[in-house]
């Protein structure tokens, strides 16, 4: 919502034939977008970035074939936890500016 103008903008697409879930929305540090997890176009929850200027929603974790269970933001990175076969297994760190990512060693099974 643009408080100064009193205008509202729908960020999620209107419901259609596909049922889509959006979770864990967090504004980017610069306020120009929102990081969120969604199952749009997939059977898994994936990390995506909603660009508020053009409403683009690129998926950032297309190479991960499991749910992104949760994520957090730091000043320069997006840290995300991958859920694999019902267990939290891998911590990934994504450079928010470049999109480059690294996976840390697998976590012990809990």
CA neighbours closer than 13 Å in the CB half-sphere of residue 54: 4
Other C-beta atoms lying within 10 Å of the C-beta of residue 65: 12
Alpha-carbon distances of 62 from 6, 16, 26, 38, 100, rounded to whole Å: 36, 23, 19, 12, 13
Say what the pTM is. Answer: 0.72
d(CA 24, CA 73): 11
Distance, CA of 48 to CA of 62 (rounded, Å):
9
97-106 pLDDT per residue, tens? 666 665 555 5
Domains and CATH numbers, the chain: 22-103 (2.40.10)
pLDDT attached to residue 96:
64
Q: Which of 50, 13, 47 lies closest to 31, judged by CA?
A: 50
pLDDT in tens, 10-51: 877 666 667 888 988 999 888 899 999 999 889 889 889 999
């Amino acid at each position: 919502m643009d408080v100064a103008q009193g205008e509202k903008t729908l960020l999620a697409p209107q419901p259609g034939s596909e049922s889509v879930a959006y979770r864990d929305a967090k504004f980017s540090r610069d306020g120009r977008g929102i990081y969120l997890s969604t199952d749009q176009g997939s059977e898994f929850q994936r990390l995506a970035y909603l660009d508020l200027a053009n409403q683009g929603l690129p998926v950032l974790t297309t190479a991960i074939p499991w749910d992104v269970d949760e994520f957090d933001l730091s000043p320069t990175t997006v840290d995300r936890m991958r859920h694999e076969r019902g267990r939290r297994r891998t911590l990934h760190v994504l450079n928010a500016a470049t999109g480059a990512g690294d996976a840390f060693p697998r976590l012990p099974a809990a």
